[in-house]
Amino acid sequence: MDETFLLAIDQGTTGTTVLVIDRALSVRGQHTEEFPQIYPQPGWVEHDPMAILRSVQIAIDEALIDAEISGAQVAAIGITNQRETTVVWDRATGAPIHNAIVWQCRRTADQCAALKAAGHEPVFKARTGLVLDPYFSGTKIAWILDHVPDARARAERGELAFGTIDSFLVWHLTGGDAHVTDVSNASRTLLMDLQTLRWSETLRGILRVPEAVLPAIRGCAEVYGHTRGFKGLPDGVAIAGMAGDQQAALFGQACFDVGDAKCTYGTGAFLLMNTGAEPVASQNGLLTTVAWRIGDRVTYALEGSAFIAGAAVQWLRDGLGLIASAHEIEALAAKVPDNGGVWFVPALTGLGAPYWRPEARGVIWGLTRGTTAGHLARATLEGIAFQNDDVLTAMQKDLGRPLKSLKVDGGAAANALLMQIQADLLGVDIVRPAMLQTTALGAALLAGLGIGWFSDLAAIRAAWQAEQTFTRQLDAAAVAAWAEGWQAAVARA
């Protein structure tokens, strides 16, 4: 019998990556296919859902070719996705009625402000763990139904379907047989009650979202349907794992115990901490979300993000011309033993958790005649690490227990100097995995769990491998003095 594999679809904001993964959790084939970004006006961001679907088809074809296998050898498919991006489509044809409204889009800011002014935010925070912000899906759905002719009436009649990208992909992979989402994606819509894991009638009413458009909410490791009529794959392949990108990365890092945390270093930095079987309401500016549901067991998480991480390095490259490529920053920063009194708060698009100061702007402070390019490079890496330290400090306060270690992934996790700075700040081990593509790995692991490749979480933990661990090299007094400089710089942002 031919060897079988797991196929992970990682549908991201700028492109789709597909991995073919074997039982040893090795990548046997992969491909990334980008698609266009659409900016209809300032602050608006859209995607063509059919372009996303084409990118998935191409990435699957190319990944199978790279792995030198056929679609018949795919045992199951796992999906992870950009979370809050919103699609509404025609149930009869599968065609979207409008471009997808991307998670970054701010077009519903006025609607969110009006809902806050009407006193609705406390109920949303209590029920969903989220804040009223255009980031999330609920107001995006209402915008599409209000601005596409006849859409609201058609939605009420059950002719239209809403979904985040996971739902849209499963619909098309199954030939329209399955209209589902998982609890992690549903928890980012402003519509799901964190306690019941069901769509809230109260919240639907406030946001004016008809029940008829909503998908069924399912767990993260189960069979949602089977492929039917999808180009490049035979009929009958199980779709068996699903989670939003950050939750998938938490799972892919095997953060299965309370207090386990991960940081994904991308354009921004996304931090999630496992809080166990009960949602923890944040008192420190964080979001409460569902991490995953396996069978009947639900796991929750606290989430915080820094808007700018790798983007700060890109700015040094593209805006200042200080480096020619992003990977050069490590060698440049290593030329100096410290920041030379230079601080960089990379609030280039405001400050996220735990500050939530959208009006904040980036600050470079402490320049002297002795300042070099190396000092600015090092201050940039420190600024990224300090933002994460602020978020993790807030998480520890909310959870009431110290961080045990931090698992890291994403492109900037390859920067050893940044990882050492992070370890020095946090005072806990920074653990870098053998496989940095943990978002796609998480989707594959969930699919493997869904079809019984893995018996339980213990089996996955046993298969997970670390590549390198970074430990603190500074004493506590030096770190405290260092942190004082950062706080002074943040106050100026």
| DSSP sequence for 395-436 | HHHHHTS---EEEEESGGGG-HHHHHHHHHHH-SEEEEES-S
Final residue in a domain of this structure, among 221, 245, 269: 245
Q: Look up the pTM and report it.
A: 0.89
Check residue 448 and report its DSSP letter. H
pLDDT more than 70, % of the chain: 100
Residues 58, 98: one domain? Answer: yes
Residues forming a β-bridge with 32? 17
Q: With a cut of 80, say whether residue 359 has pLDDT above it.
A: no
In this structure, are strands 238-244 and 225-226 parallel, antiparallel, or unpaired? Answer: antiparallel
The Cα–Cα gap between 86 and 124 comes to 19
Q: Residue 395: which domain range?
A: 254-493
The Cα–Cα gap between 444 and 441 comes to 5
Please compute the mean of the pLDDT values over residues 376-388 and round it to a whole number. Answer: 94
Q: With a cut of 90, say whether residue 268 has pLDDT above it.
A: no
The Cα–Cα gap between 453 and 373 comes to 51
Residues 269, 298: one domain? Answer: yes
pLDDT more than 90, % of the chain: 70
The dihedral built from the CA positions of residue 288, 135, 187 and 447, taken in this order, carries a sign that is negative
Residues 215, 282: one domain? Answer: no
Final residue in a domain of this structure, among 245, 280, 300: 245
The Cα–Cα gap between 55 and 133 comes to 29
Which CATH number do you get for residue 378?
Answer: 3.30.420.40
469 or 134: whose pLDDT is higher? 469
pLDDT in tens, 164-203: 999 999 999 999 999 999 999 999 999 999 999 999 999 9
Residues 239, 318: one domain? Answer: no
In the three-class reduction of DSSP (H, G, I as helix; E, B as strand; rest coil), residue 33 is classed as strand
What does the pLDDT read at residue 59?
96
411 or 74: whose pLDDT is higher? 74
The dihedral built from the CA positions of residue 35, 40, 45 and 50, taken in this order, carries a sign that is negative
CB contact set of 389 (below 8 Å; sequence gap of 6+): 422, 425, 426, 483
What does the pLDDT read at residue 80?
96
Give the H/E segment covering residue 291. Answer: strand 287-294
Residues 219, 294: one domain? Answer: no
Residues 176, 270: one domain? Answer: no
Residues 221, 269: one domain? Answer: no
Angle ∠(351,349,185) on CA atoms, nearest 5: 75
C-alpha count within 13 angstroms, C-beta hemisphere, residue 305: 16
The Cα–Cα gap between 242 and 219 comes to 8
Q: With a cut of 50, say whether residue 250 has pLDDT above it.
A: yes
Give the count of beta carbons closer than 10 Å to the beta carbon of residue 61. 17
How far lies 37's CA from each of 10, 13, 88, 137, 213, in Å? 17, 9, 18, 18, 26
pLDDT in tens, 62-83: 999 999 999 999 999 999 999 9
Residues 219, 320: one domain? Answer: no
Residues 220, 291: one domain? Answer: no
pLDDT band, very low/low/confident/very high, at 241 (cuts 50, 70, 90) = very high
Q: With a cut of 60, say whether residue 1 has pLDDT above it.
A: no
CA dihedral 452, 456, 461, 462 (to 10 degrees): -70
Phi first, then psi, for residue 218 (nearest 5°) are: -125, 175
Most confidently modeled range among 213-222, 297-306, 326-335? 213-222
Check residue 73 and report its DSSP letter. G
Residues 164, 135: one domain? Answer: yes
Final residue in a domain of this structure, among 245, 264, 291: 245
Q: With a cut of 80, say whether residue 286 has pLDDT above it.
A: yes
Residues 417, 451: one domain? Answer: yes
Check residue 342 and report its DSSP letter. -
Q: Letter for the amino acid at 59?
A: A
Domain count for the chain: 2
pLDDT in tens, 314-343: 889 988 898 998 889 999 999 999 999 999
Q: How close are the terminal C-alpha atoms of the chain, in Å?
A: 62
Q: Among 82, 106, 493, 46, which residue's Cα sits nearest to residue 308?
A: 493
In this structure, are strands 27-34 and 15-21 parallel, antiparallel, or unpaired? Answer: antiparallel
Integer-rounded Cα Rg, in Å, for the chain is 22
Residues 207, 278: one domain? Answer: no
Q: How remote is the C-alpha of 276 from its chain's centroid?
A: 19
Phi first, then psi, for residue 25 (nearest 5°) are: 65, 30
